[in-house]
Amino acid sequence: MSQQSQNYQNHRRIHPLFHVLLTLLTAGLFISAVVELVRSLKAGNQVFPAVLFLIISIMFIVIFLVVRSYPLKAQDRAIRAEENLRHYVLTQKLLDPRLSVKQIVALRFASDDEFPSLCQKAAADQLSPDAIKKSIQKWRADDYRI
């Protein structure tokens, strides 16, 4: 749990090992592979090791992106289910099917008092996730998602 209460300005979180260190290392690996391939081509050396190095760096980029996207999709599914249940408990109706997953993920920050009406407004006006978050008067923290 964070010491400061969560709000629109501070709700985004960065995991330094992933978002900074691993991003820089992955970018460095790819740049090094491209530089090595260009050097090998210019020098007339064997290019196979450099091509292999480039392929491995591209594979690492794909793994880097997938490792991030799969847990986020699982979190989005869980949030959608939680917010659907919350909406049902508050209104005895399921969420409006016009709401996108991204909108629902943004709506999770709304307090119970404003959640049903903000859901209606978001669906009717097709508010962006950012507009939804900015519309929230009483913020409900989510300290679990990264």
Residue that is written with structure tokens 């880097």 in the block:
64
Predicted confidence (pLDDT) per residue in 40-95, tens digit = 999 988 999 999 999 999 999 999 999 888 988 999 999 999 999 999 999 999 99
pLDDT tens string 25-36: 999 999 999 999
DSSP secondary structure letters along 78-145: HHHHHHHHHHHHHHSSPPPTTS-HHHHHHHTTB-TTTHHHHHHHHHHHT--HHHHHHH-SSB----S-
CA–CA gap between residue 108 and residue 91 (Å, rounded): 15
Q: Please, are residues 123 and 96 in contact by the beta-carbon 8 Å criterion?
A: yes
The pTM of the full predicted model, rounded to 2 decimals, is 0.73
